[in-house]
Structure 1
């Protein structure tokens, strides 16, 4: 993997870990809004002085898109979101109703805003994605990601556009 791609992947993982940490540290306090948590994650990566502002913004958009899709998956299966964020399942279950009550409105508004901005449902070769299954829009081939990684072209048909499921 080229060094620049490796830096981007490391930064994505740093942002994801910072977001997880912000939610975890909030504990019984009001959880930060999605925007506040993402801003803090961006700042953490920015402080490392390894990436340009544009690269950090691009990674933030990838992470927002993954969170958007994971949030939609939450409606179907909250345990899959817990696995994606690598939270302790008991912690998620015990705080889920509290979390929903505290952040439902800001989160819904933020996710709606992201839905308007993002290319919903499309992942492209060269982008970074979190864990999940990408399905090639050209031939249906599935790429399984157990951890964040760069999206390659489809190994079967070389297409570059995918949809995602968890």
Structure 2
């Protein structure tokens, strides 16, 4: 078993990055094969982290839900606006680690393709909540509109403006 951070939220943030990496690797290797889709890749990554003892089943479920939420939200934004991923993040991509940018972009692009196939489905706004983990980007407090910028994966704290606990991704 690999060494894990002591802080539970830091541990989940690191697990988010690792799960994203696993999904990215699956997307890259499947480019020549049939593509089972994001849910299948996430399931494989989740099960692998459980088998390796890196996360409990409950933690792995949470983290995969966070990764899936962020990928779908980014893909929806890319699909609906045609903008670059930096516009979704709402800060300069130079501030994001190169490997994180590559993984996130690759998975978001694949997710965008999957979402385009499912465009007839109702599109509901993704809600983000205090205590959850999110990838890089900007969240806006649903109560007061204050922006919170994440330059790397991290847990979502209460709003510093009003202590609100519900957020939406900017551009959603």
Give 3-state SS (helix, strand or coil) of 1:37's partner.
helix
Cα distance in 2 between the residues matched to 1:110 and 1:44: 31
Query: TM-score, structure 1 length as denominator?
Result: 0.75
- 8 Å Cα contact 2:50-2:60 kept in structure 1: yes
Greater RCO between the two (CA within 8 Å, min separation 6)? 2
Alignment of 1:27-46 (within 5 A): 27-46=31-50
- 8 Å Cα contact 1:153-1:160 kept in structure 2: yes
Q: Find the counterpart in structure 1 of residue 13 from structure 2.
A: 9
Count residues with an aligned counterpart: 153
Query: TM-score, structure 2 length as denominator?
Result: 0.72
Segments of structure 2 that go 5 or more residues without pairing to the other structure are: 87-92
Give 3-state SS (helix, strand or coil) of 1:87's partner.
helix
Cα distance in 2 between the residues matched to 1:30 and 1:165: 33
Q: Find the counterpart in structure 2 of residue 19 from structure 1.
A: 23
RMSD of equivalent CA atoms: 3.4
Residue 153 of structure 2 corresponds to residue 148 of structure 1: yes
Runs of 4+ in 1 over 6 A off after TM superposition: none
TM-aligned CA deviation for residue 131 of structure 1: 1.3
- 8 Å Cα contact 2:75-2:115 kept in structure 1: no
Q: 1:130 to 1:40 in 2, by over 3 A?
A: same
Q: Find the counterpart in structure 2 of residue 86 from structure 1.
A: 101
Cα distance in 1 between the residues matched to 2:23 and 2:51: 15
Q: 1:159 to 1:60 in 2, by over 3 A?
A: same
Q: Find the counterpart in structure 2 of residue 74 from structure 1.
A: 78
The structure in which a higher percent of residues are helix is: 1
Q: 1:112 to 1:39 in 2, by over 3 A?
A: farther
Q: Find the counterpart in structure 1 of residue 60 from structure 2.
A: 56
- 8 Å Cα contact 2:10-2:154 kept in structure 1: no
Give 3-state SS (helix, strand or coil) of 1:86's partner.
helix
Cα distance in 2 between the residues matched to 1:142 and 1:43: 34
TM-aligned CA deviation for residue 107 of structure 1: 7.1
Q: Find the counterpart in structure 2 of residue 139 from structure 1.
A: 144
Deviations 1:11-66 (A, max 9, x none): 11110111111112223333341122111211232133132111111111111111
